[in-house]
């Protein structure tokens, strides 16, 4: 039997169709950030969201090599010790899956059914990609840089290694790292052990895990994850535009205590400080507003100082909670004026859904 019998395009759920066994299977492998973990400045690794397209490969760190070749003067193969001997840099980065919010789109694109929780922040340590590219002396004709992971699978009938490319300009800009440590420790297997790419400000698909090769091309990369997947389109036959940087988002730490099944929050009446985190990959967040009536009226939040450009920022707002039922939400606006909407425009892949979060909160009688 041929693999192309698995080539059906990504499906969109029928009206009213519930989450199916195939989506549940993905959701049970790929976990989100429990929203109470927004309390940590740096996400403990086990609480950081995880997304893996195929299998988590078992990589022997002694056998591992990074190959850098293609359109350059000085091809290089290095082992882990050689990589770690180069000058290192640590950058705090908030990473978010491009599919975050997918399950809240109507109709629902059938894939990993994230609500709002596909996010995490880590201190990534590694070698700046720009330093490595300097070392190998990239030729002037080079335009794209392809990153290949050690994982292998099939997607819509196409057998492939996980590969993503950046333009040479994007690869040289903004703190892109070839990282071997997360929060000061070797990468956990699910986060790319022993080495992954980190592309600050970009959605997760660009941060290639289990990195084994970096190849310079003199033409645009047309691999599956760039040319077919991760494109914003409303119908399957249009080429669409590439998914790239992270849209602005604010997320509230759910206040009070939860009901086990519905996750409705309960609070006792009185003053409460609502807290959360905000980020945008395009431009720094300029303001955050909070609403207790589902976005009809907004209250400005206090923004904590920026730790660095690529890490989320804390925000807070006091609220005098009186008995009743509330729909809490928050929205971020970045300094380019990109504003988080109550309802983001739909696309077929279910990408970049930064529609404002909605938390049902019941303030109990005194």
What is the maximum alpha-carbon separation in the chain? 73
Q: Does 132 bind Mo ion (CB under 5 A)?
A: no
Report d(CA 266, CA 294) in Å as an integer: 17
Residue 150 or 321: which CB sits closer to ligand MTE? Answer: 150
Letter string b/e over residues 63-100, b meaning 16 or more CB atoms within 10 A of that residue's CB: ebebebebbbeeeeebebeebbeeebeebbbbbbbbbb
37 binds, among ligand MTE, Mo ion, none (CB under 5 to 8 A by kind): none
Binding mask 78-117 for ligand MTE (x = CB under 6 A): -----------------x-x--------------------
Q: How many of the chain's residues bind ligand MTE (CB under 6 A)?
A: 20
Site string for ligand MTE, 112-151 (x = CB under 6 A): --------x----------------------------x-x
72 phi and psi angles, rounded to 5 deg? -155, 165
The residue to which tokens 């600050």 are assigned: 200
* Binding track, positions 262-301, relative to ligand MTE; x by CB under 6 A: ----------------------------------------
From 162, 279, 310, 312, residue interacting with ligand MTE (rule: CB under 6 A): 162
Q: 32 or 314: whose CB is closer to ligand MTE?
A: 32
How far apart CA 363 and CA 359 sit, in angstroms, is: 13
Using the contact rule CB under 6 A, the part of the chain among 32-40, 61-69, 203-211, 280-288 near ligand MTE is 203-211
- Phi, psi (degrees; rounded to nearest 5) at 340: -70, 125
Determine which residue in the list 23, 37, 43, 53 makes contact with ligand MTE, applying CB under 6 A. 53
Q: How far is the CB of 204 from ligand MTE (least distance, A)?
A: 2
Torsion of CA 149, 179, 187, 39, to 10 degrees: -120
Q: Which two tokens stand for residue 347?
A: 């696309």
Q: Write the Ramachandran bin of 20: left for phi over 0, alpha for psi from -120 to 50, otherwise beta.
A: beta
Specify the 3-state DSSP secondary structure of 294. Answer: coil
Binding segment (CB under 6 A) for ligand MTE, from list 51-59, 62-70, 292-300, 326-334: 51-59
8 A C-beta contact, residue 320 and residue 270: yes
In the list ligand MTE, Mo ion, none, the entry touching 275 (Cβ below 5 to 8 angstroms by class) is none
Residues numbered 82 to 121 that lie near Mo ion (CB under 5 A) are: 97
Beta carbon of residue 286, minimum distance to Mo ion (angstroms, whole number): 26
List the single partner that 95 binds among Mo ion, ligand MTE, none, CB under 5 to 8 Å by kind.
ligand MTE
Q: Could you give the CA distance from residue 185 to residue 125 in angstroms, rounded to a whole number?
A: 9
User: How far apart are the C-alpha atoms of 69 and 88, rounded to whole Å?
Assistant: 22
**Binding segment (CB under 5 A) for Mo ion, from list 77-85, 128-136, 202-210, 277-285:** 202-210
Question: Strand, helix or coil at 32?
Answer: coil
Query: Which residue among 102, 104, 209, 313 contacts ligand MTE (CB under 6 A)?
Result: 209
Is residue 204 near Mo ion by the rule CB under 5 A? Answer: yes
- Taking the C-alpha atoms of residue 50 and residue 47, their distance in angstroms, rounded to an integer, is 9
Q: Which is nearer to ligand MTE, 162 or 180 (CB)?
A: 162
Q: Which is nearer to ligand MTE, 180 or 210 (CB)?
A: 210
Distances in whole angstroms, Cα of residue 30 to Cα of each of 46, 49, 191, 361: 12, 7, 11, 27
Q: Which residues bind Mo ion (CB under 5 A)?
A: 51, 97, 204-205
Q: Which residues bind ligand MTE (CB under 6 A)?
A: 48-53, 95, 97, 120, 149, 151, 162, 190-191, 204-205, 207-210
């Amino acid at each position: 039997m041929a693999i192309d019998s698995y080539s059906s395009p990504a499906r969109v759920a029928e009206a009213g169709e519930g989450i199916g066994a195939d989506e549940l299977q993905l959701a049970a492998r790929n976990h989100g950030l429990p929203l109470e973990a927004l309390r940590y400045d740096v996400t403990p690794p086990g609480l950081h969201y995880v997304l893996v397209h195929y299998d988590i490969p078992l990589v022997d760190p002694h056998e591992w090599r990074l190959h850098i070749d293609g359109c350059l003067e000085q091809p290089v193969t290095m082992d882990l010790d050689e990589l770690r001997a180069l000058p290192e840099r640590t950058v705090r980065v908030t990473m978010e899956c491009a599919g975050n919010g997918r399950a809240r789109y109507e109709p629902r694109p059938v894939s990993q059914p994230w609500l709002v929780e596909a996010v995490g922040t880590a201190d990534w340590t590694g070698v700046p990609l720009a330093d490595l590219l300097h070392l190998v002396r990239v030729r002037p004709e080079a335009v794209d840089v392809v990153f290949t992971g050690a994982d292998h699978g099939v997607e819509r009938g196409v057998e492939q290694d996980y590969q993503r490319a950046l333009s040479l300009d994007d690869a040289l800009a903004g703190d892109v790292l070839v990282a071997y440590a997360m929060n000061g420790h070797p990468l956990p297997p699910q986060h790319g052990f022993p080495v992954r790419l980190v592309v600050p400000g970009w959605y997760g698909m660009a941060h290639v895990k289990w990195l084994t090769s970096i190849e310079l091309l003199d033409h645009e990369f047309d691999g599956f994850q760039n040319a077919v997947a991760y494109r914003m389109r409303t119908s399957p036959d249009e080429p669409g535009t590439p998914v790239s940087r992270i849209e602005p988002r604010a997320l509230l730490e759910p206040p009070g205590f939860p009901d086990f099944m519905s996750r409705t929050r309960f609070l006792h009446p009185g003053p409460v400080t609502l807290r959360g985190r905000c980020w945008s990959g395009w431009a720094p967040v300029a303001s955050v507003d909070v609403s207790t009536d589902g976005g009809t009226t907004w209250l400005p939040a206090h923004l904590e100082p920026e730790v660095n450009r690529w890490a989320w920022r804390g925000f807070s707002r006091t609220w005098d909670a009186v008995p009743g039922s509330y729909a809490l939400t928050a929205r971020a606006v970045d300094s380019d004026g990109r504003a988080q909407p109550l309802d983001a425009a739909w696309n077929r892949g279910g990408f970049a859904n930064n529609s404002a979060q909605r938390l049902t909160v019941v303030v109990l009688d005194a």
